[in-house]
Amino acid sequence: MTYEAATWGSGWKEAEQGSTVAIASFDNTNGAQINVPYGMLLGKRDCIVQQSETADFLFGISRKCDYIVLSDCSVRSAEYPSRGAGKQMIRGNWLMRSKSMFDPEAPISEIRFELTGLLEWSGRNMVEEITQYDKDYAFLRSSAVLSAENQESEKLYSGDSYSIELRFCSIRGPKQLSETVFRNKAIAAICFSSAVTLDEALFKLHKVQSFASFCCGWYAGVESVTLINKQGISIDYHCRYICNDKVPGQDDYMHMPIPLISVGDKVDSVLGKWLDASEELTAACNVLVPLSTRKSDTYMDLQFLAASQTLESLSVEGRSVKAFSDEEFDRMKEIVRNSIQDNRVRQWACNRLFGHNSNKLGQRKLLGDLYDFIGSFAVQVFPDKKAFIQRHVQMRNDITHRNPASMSIDHSRLFYHTQGVIILCHAAIMRKIGLTESEVVEHFSRSHFREYLIREAADL
């Protein structure tokens, strides 16, 4: 995306005076930047170390009255010949554009954004096709009906400080004799009761994006962001986001683990638990979503470790991990100290027995309890609970500590075990955000989500 030439300055007043002309552009490779083909926007003509020249904001006004702001600006490259004005390339963190003059630091009252596959996740069809036939079933006419009812917004979450809803619209393409095109769009909107900072608004956006990716089964990449500031001014916001590895297709749409329609009236409760998740559950989600939805180019053992860490975070979330009460543990330590006479042996035994995690439940116990918490779906993925725990703990210890045994692990078994663990994490998070044991089984059974991987993991 490249904007037309604009006059730039350190403030709106300087930009209006038209002292320096530059072209702003943005893409996911180079980010937000300004090309100054003639002249200087940052620094002085006789300055040697131009990279030290920075500015919090630079302001531009185009001939079409686009008001543009570049943030966290620094000189990326520059040429300063002995004669002439020279030229600069200035890079920034993000770019904002609006049709009205605005304050880039003004609080945000609403943030709207499009995500990849959001419309398919919602299941909303705004254009209905109606075909008519005569009494002999001969074709008469076909028409597309755009229903206002199908464009009504849908509330996803209502909280004390903000609410989240889906808004729908249908845009007709250019009129052509050969075809008629309607483009349907779903836009997520977070409305804040009290205006918040840009960072706070973006944090909520990423939480919703993560939830959508988890439900869809693919990475719901951010496609566009629009900010509404406290003054009611609409601002396009451009910042580098992680791109999708691929555009989801029909097969992906058919195998979504949790489409919106399947959650029904529970969406407010389920999304609320995701947004207000504990630190352990949030950490698990932050690892699982990219691990599960993005193409991985990492080594298989590193994928296994990431999946294993996610499973461990889920196993300790929302529960006490103490093996004994503090009083009982202190009594046990005292018995050990009084039972050994040799000072050196006593010190060695205490160091070994009473370290940092000595009063913590073992990994096998925690994994077993999580397996039982997930319920019957865990049995579908790993039918033999005891064998699964034994295999997982052994693999985890060997690969973490790079034991010689880790070199002989069969990569096919490691792959399918890892995929089974990832699916088990999906099911555990579903349970923790409010779905019942039977609902988890129903979601996977209906969607056939990664069905072949479940079969392979069950056969290990």
Using one digit for the tens of pLDDT, what is the confidence trace for 107-150?
Answer: 999 999 999 999 999 988 777 777 888 777 787 777 767 677 77
Contact between 20 and 26 (Cβ < 8 Å): no
In a domain, 422, yes or no: yes
Instruction: Please indicate, yes or no, whether residues 239 and 127 belong to a single structural domain of this protein.
Output: yes
In this predicted structure, what is the pLDDT of residue 260? 92
Confidence of residue 48 (pLDDT cuts 50, 70, 90): very low
Looking at 226, 249, 265, the residue that finishes a domain is 265
Instruction: Please indicate, yes or no, whether residues 193 and 127 belong to a single structural domain of this protein.
Output: yes
Tokens 């699916």 label which residue? 423
Q: Is the pLDDT of residue 99 over 90?
A: yes
Count the residues in the chain: 460
32 vs 360 pLDDT, higher one: 32
Report pLDDT digits (tens) over 161-188.
Answer: 999 999 998 777 777 767 667 778 899 9
Rounded Cα distance between 374 and 443, Å, is 13
Rounded Cα distance between 399 and 153, Å, is 49
Looking at 98, 118, 150, the residue that finishes a domain is 98
Tokens 């792959």 label which residue? 415
Instruction: Please indicate, yes or no, whether residues 115 and 261 belong to a single structural domain of this protein.
Output: yes
Q: Is the pLDDT of residue 278 over 80?
A: yes
Q: Is the pLDDT of residue 446 over 80?
A: yes
Looking at 53, 74, 98, the residue that finishes a domain is 98
Strand partners, 236: 97, 226
Average pLDDT value over all residues in the chain: 85
Instruction: Please indicate, yes or no, whether residues 129 and 213 belong to a single structural domain of this protein.
Output: yes
Distance of CA 255 to the CA centre of its chain: 19
Rounded Cα distance between 204 and 274, Å, is 11
Report pLDDT digits (tens) over 50-72.
Answer: 445 788 999 999 888 899 999 98
In a domain, 48, yes or no: yes
Rg, C-alpha atoms of the chain: 29
The residue-averaged pLDDT of 389-397 equals 92
Strand partners, 225: 113, 237
Instruction: Please indicate, yes or no, whether residues 372 and 410 belong to a single structural domain of this protein.
Output: yes
Proportion of the chain above pLDDT 90, given as a percent: 44
Q: Extract the tokens encoding 284.
A: 């698990």
Domain that holds residue 26: 6-98
Tokens 């003054």 label which residue? 231
In a domain, 453, yes or no: yes
In this predicted structure, what is the pLDDT of residue 271? 95
Instruction: Please indicate, yes or no, whether residues 171 and 83 belong to a single structural domain of this protein.
Output: no
In a domain, 55, yes or no: yes
In this predicted structure, what is the pLDDT of residue 311? 93
In this predicted structure, what is the pLDDT of residue 109? 96
